[in-house]
Chains A and B, each alone.
Chain A
Amino acid sequence: MAESVQDNVERGDGDNVKTENFFTLKKWNAVAMWSWDVECDTCAICRVQVMDACLRCQAESKKDFYGKQDCVVVWGECNHSFHYCCMSLWVKQNNRCPLCQQEWSIQRMGK
């Protein structure tokens, strides 16, 4: 399955362009890392990095959480972000952002 990524690339056709250039860039096999677009990479509630599942999800070691990221991140209107699991438990007791005390309302969810 790894091979298929690089075989399946969009073929450039630099050869057809008549050029005086020293170099022709034929192919680029890139590697990128994705992460949640957050200001602080640690969830202030469980203090686990938001890229990892939250502490409760890790404790339950859900069998189906690889492949799909179940434990996603949620951003408030205040732009603070937390694990969705952690925040949904938090708001049951206190409907304010734990970092800035503004009333909590969801701006967006990670996908």
Chain B
Amino acid sequence: MSLKPKRVDFSQTWDILQQTVKGVITLADVPRSTWNDRFTDVYSLCVAYPEPLADRLYDETKHFLDDHVSELLLGVSKQGDASLLQAYHSAWTEYSQGIDYLHQLYLYLNQQHIKKQKTTEAEIIYGASCAAAADYQEQMEIGELGLDIWKRKMITPLKESLVSLLLAGIHGDRLGKARHATTDVICGVIQSFVRVEEYKKKGQLDLYQQIFEEPFLEDSGNFYAREASELLQKSDVSYYMEQVSWRFSQEELRCQKFLHSSSAPKVRQCCQEKMVAAHLSWLHTEADVMIENERRRDLSFLYPLLRPLPSGLAPLIRKLTAHITQQGLRAIGTLQGDNVHTQFVESMLDVHTKYYELIKAVFKGDQAFISALDKACSAVVNHQPASRQPARAAELLAKYCDSLLKKSSRGTTEGDVEEKLARSITVFKYVDDKDVFQKFYARMLAKRLIHQQSQSMDAEEAMIDRLKQACGYEFTNKLHRMFTDMSVSADLNTKFSSNLREREGQGQKQLGIGFGVYVLQAGAWPLGLPPAPGPFHVPQQLEQSIQAFETFYHAQFSGRKLTWLHPLCQGELKLNYLKRPYLVTVQTYQMALLLLFEQCDTLPCKEAAMSLGVSQEQLEKHVVSLIDCKLLKKSPDGELGEETTLMLNLDYSNKRTKFRVTAALQREGPQDAETTHRSVDHDRKLYLQAAIVRIMKSRKLLRHNQLVQEVLGQSKITFAPSIGMIKKCIEALIDKQYIERTANSSDEYSYVA
């Protein structure tokens, strides 16, 4: 074979070439050698001398293909509806393969002749090409030409019949009546609509969408609308949702089986529209009942149906929030008895766990539903039983922790306690006024520490760590300081003891009693003691210990003063005047009262009050506690008064030789809770001022609204301050000259260094 251009007789060459073209397009057996010769012929024509014959070759080939497809059309349409699809499909299968081969046979024409003269992309964009010849028909590569001819000569005339047969076939498939053999045909025919335009640079799916997808979606819509209304008439919502879900999954499989992948979302949307969106308000009404009765199975069918719709889930989320709130309030609404705190926290946790599990199982842990749970729990926890009455969660939760951390005889293991405390953080996170909780917690912690009632220091510290993790260092700062005082006190006691021993060695008198002291830092301990009306006359037996310790303490520190908290002090007295000795633990006031009887047998209340330096009212409380435990007697019987005479009960006996007398006023009264709430207010102002100073120090210059926003942002983790309170704090800081209003604007502040 020569590659040199030469004269070629077109008619003669084309006659021969045409035979092979026919063979190739009909998938007849073409020997390799013939193929090679014709391949060369295409080349020769394209490079013919004196003038290339490529254009003629193109035109003749086009003409040939036109005729060929027209002939095929004739054969296909002769078949009639019954086997039209089948006939089209086999013609297409042959033709599409044949045109692929032909394309290869014309390789030279395609690559050297047509590609070169093809309008470039840029020219298309700028519209610069072929302005002169509007009806100039651009040449296509042979493969594309073949498909284009198929489109015009085969699909266009047949499309109505083809599509209605396709739709009927798919309809049959939906009803379960399709014959298996037709699946391949339907699929193949639909694919042909895509294939014939696949070569295009854009709008590849135009034909498919226009002639098939559009009517298909319309038909499907009608089918599913009808299906939905039939279902509605004969079934309840449970069956309806099951059927719809089943339809959805079937239709998805059908899409994969027959359609182009781009149709799947459209089909899904069509189904959703007709079977879900069209009946949305009915489904929402039913959903309310499902949530009300917690029908988990129904809800797990409903959730995936509604999720894709833009406002599909919103009513469910609202309803679930209301439902959980209602259930929560019911759970904590009727609490009674001594352990209200335990009931409160554990009921709250039960509600939380129950609905958390439900959301995980039924709503796939959807974040929107988790938020609904949070919102509901927060509403329940912070619910105010009556207006102007503070929510009790903070106090109850603190009490719950207290009951777990206290030494108790009940058989709870340490692991048990740890787990319960860890779980209580769930409730803690919902408490709005975390600072109120902190106050109650601190008071109870103080009591546990001072009265040595803590079950375990490890558990105490682990709990404070949890609070710190949830709310930050500032939140637990005072709690840490209380712990620090405990260890500092331990050190002080050790030093004091050795100091005493030294002095003993130097001949000083010893104290004569066992003495230990906790020295607490004022401000860190929320002890809220009532102010003493006058100086309490400390029993002379204690005087020496107090003096010795104060001397020791002032030598250690400077600028400090000590205040003895007698209501918190306890002494151990040995009673020598009874048939057998008893060891009794009493509060300092009770101890002082008993010690008065060392000097006398009977004593009127009035005198006792004077000797102790306490009010009559105070004295009576302590007297009552000692009369109640039968250590004291009174005369006459009846109401205590200034003239009532007191005396020791010399016939006292007790099975136990070592016991404790309950101190007056040890039970936490409602008054305590009130003081706690009041001191919260003071602390909040200080917290806000510190926050404002901190913000202004880093920002230097801020507008009023920005400052308020930043303060709100910083404080929201512990409490929600009112705007009024923030304003007052800003004014206070302007007053103290920490910040000032700038000269140019009245609502802008600057930091004063």
Residues of A within 8 A of B (CB): 1-6, 8-14, 19, 21-37, 45-49, 51-52, 55-56, 58-61, 63, 66-67, 69, 72-73, 75, 108-111
A52 touches B513 (CB 8 A): no
Contacts of B689 in A (CB 8 A): 55
- Give complex CA distance A52, B512 in Å: 37
The answer to whether B558 touches A109 (Cβ under 8 A) is yes
Please state if B493 and A2 are interface contacts (CB–CB under 8 Å).
no
Residues of A close to B496: CB separation below 8 A: 10
In this assembly, does B522 line the interface, its C-beta being within 8 Å of a C-beta of chain A?
A: yes
Q: Are A24 and B576 in contact (CB-based, < 8 A)? A: yes
Asked if B412 is at the interface (CB within 8 A of a chain A CB), the reply is no
B448-472 CB contacts (< 8 Å) to partner A: 449-450, 452, 454, 457
Which residue of A21, A26, A33, A72 is within 8 Å of B598 (Cβ)? A21
Tell which of B450, B514, B563, B595 touches A23, judged by Cβ atoms closer than 8 Å. B595
- Identify the closest chain B residue to A50 (Cβ): B523
7 more CB-based (< 8 A) A-B contacts, given A2-B452, A66-B481: A10-B516, A25-B512, A25-B573, A33-B521, A37-B561, A48-B686, A60-B694
5 contacts between A and B (CB under 8 A): A23-B575, A27-B514, A28-B588, A34-B519, A66-B481
The 7 A-B pairs of least Cβ separation, nearest first, read A51-B523, A110-B559, A27-B514, A9-B516, A35-B522, A59-B693, A59-B694
A56 cross-chain contacts in B, Cβ below 8 A: 693
Note all chain A residues with C-beta closer than 8 A to B549.
30, 32
Which residue of B480, B518, B558, B594 contacts A32 across the interface (Cβ within 8 Å)?
B518
Using Cβ atoms and an 8 Å threshold, which residues of chain A touch B588? Answer: 28
B289 within 8 A of A: no
Residues of B within 8 A of A69 (CB): 521
- Which of the residues A19, A28, A49, A66 comes within 8 Å of B576, measured between beta carbons? A19
Q: Tell whether, in the assembled complex, residue A5 and residue B493 are in contact, meaning their CB atoms are under 8 Å apart.
A: yes
Q: Is A66's CB under 8 angstroms from B562's CB? A: no
Would B571 and A25 count as touching, CB distance under 8 A? Answer: yes
Verify A21–B562 contact, CB threshold 8 A: no
| Distance between Cα atoms of A66 and B738 in the complex (Å) | 25
- CB neighbors of A among B691-713 (8 A): 691, 693-694, 697
Residue of A nearest to B562 (CB): A32
Task: Tell me if A34 and B576 are in contact (CB < 8 A).
Answer: no
Q: Give the shortest distance, in Å, between B421 (CB) and chain A (any CB).
A: 19
List the count of A-B residue pairs having beta carbons below 8 Å apart: 226
Please tell me which one of the listed residues B457, B563, B575 contacts residue A33 in the complex, with CB atoms under 8 A apart.
B563
Question: Inside 8 A of A8's CB, which chain B residues have their CB?
Answer: 490, 493-494, 497, 516
Complex-state Cα separation, A49 to B571, whole angstroms: 33
> Are B522 and A10 in touch, CB under 8 angstroms?
no
Q: B557, A111: Cβ atoms under 8 Å?
A: yes
Q: Tell me if B720 is interfacial: C-beta within 8 Å of chain A.
A: no
Q: Which residue of B lies closest to A26 (CB)?
A: B572
A31–B568 contact, CB under 8 A? Answer: yes
Knowing A46-B736, A108-B559 are in contact, say whether A28-B513 is a contact too (CB < 8 A).
Answer: yes
Known contacts A24-B576, A33-B565; A51 and B521 CB within 8 A of each other: yes
Flag whether B520 is at the interface (Cβ < 8 A).
yes
| Count of chain B residues near A, Cβ 8 A | 81
Asked if B53 lies at the interface with its beta carbon under 8 angstroms from chain A, I say no
Is B570's CB under 8 angstroms from A32's CB?
no
> B484, B558, B571, B690: which contacts A110 (Cβ < 8 A)?
B558
**Residue from B521, B576, B694 in contact with A21 in the complex, judged by beta carbons closer than 8 Å:** B576
Residue pair B691, A59 in contact (C-beta under 8 Å): yes
A66→B514 contact, CB < 8 A = no
Query: Nearest A residue to B597 by beta-carbon distance?
Result: A22
Task: State how many angstroms separate the Cβ of B167 from the closest Cβ of chain A.
Answer: 73
Q: Does chain A have a CB within 8 A of B564?
A: yes
Give Cα A34 to B489, complex, Å. 12
B703 CB, min distance to chain A CBs, angstroms: 20
| Residue contact B481 to A34, C-beta cutoff 8 Å | no
CB-CB under 8 A from B716, the residues of chain A are none
Q: How far, in whole Å, are A70 and B507 apart by their CA atoms in the complex? A: 39
Evaluate contact between B520 and A33: CB separation under 8 angstroms.
yes
Once the chains are docked, how many angstroms separate the CA of A56 from the CA of B564?
31
Contact: A10 with B577, CB < 8 Å?
Answer: no
**What's the minimum C-beta distance from A11 to chain B, rounded to whole angstroms?**
5
A29 touches B570 (CB 8 A): yes
Specify which chain B residues have a CB less than 8 angstroms from the CB of A110 in the assembled complex. 557-560
Residues of A within 8 A of B515 (CB): 9-10, 12, 27-28, 30
Q: CA separation between A107 and B404, bound complex, in Å?
A: 49
A23 touches B598 (CB 8 A): yes
How long is the Cα–Cα vector from A14 to B571 in the complex, in angstroms?
Answer: 14
Per-residue CB contact flags for chain B residues 293-325 toward chain A (1 = under 8 Å, else 0) read: 000000000000000000000000000000000
Query: Across the interface, do A49 and B523 meet the contact criterion of CB distance under 8 Å?
Result: yes
A48 to B574, CA, bound (A): 46
Residues in A whose Cβ lies below 8 Å from that of B512: 12-14, 25
Q: Is B474 an interface residue (CB 8 A)?
A: yes
In the complex, the chain A residue whose C-beta lies closest to that of B581 is A24
Say yes or no for B349: interface residue by CB 8 A criterion. Answer: no
A108 touches B558 (CB 8 A): yes
Nearest to B448 among chain A residues (CB) is A2
B186 at the interface (CB under 8 A from A): no
Closest to A22 in B: B577
- Segment 425-465 of B: residues with Cβ below 8 Å from A: 449-450, 452, 454, 457
Whether B558 pairs with A59 at a CB distance below 8 angstroms is no
The chain A residue sitting closest to B732, CB to CB, is A47
**In the complex, which residues of chain A have a beta carbon less than 8 angstroms from the beta carbon of B500?**
10
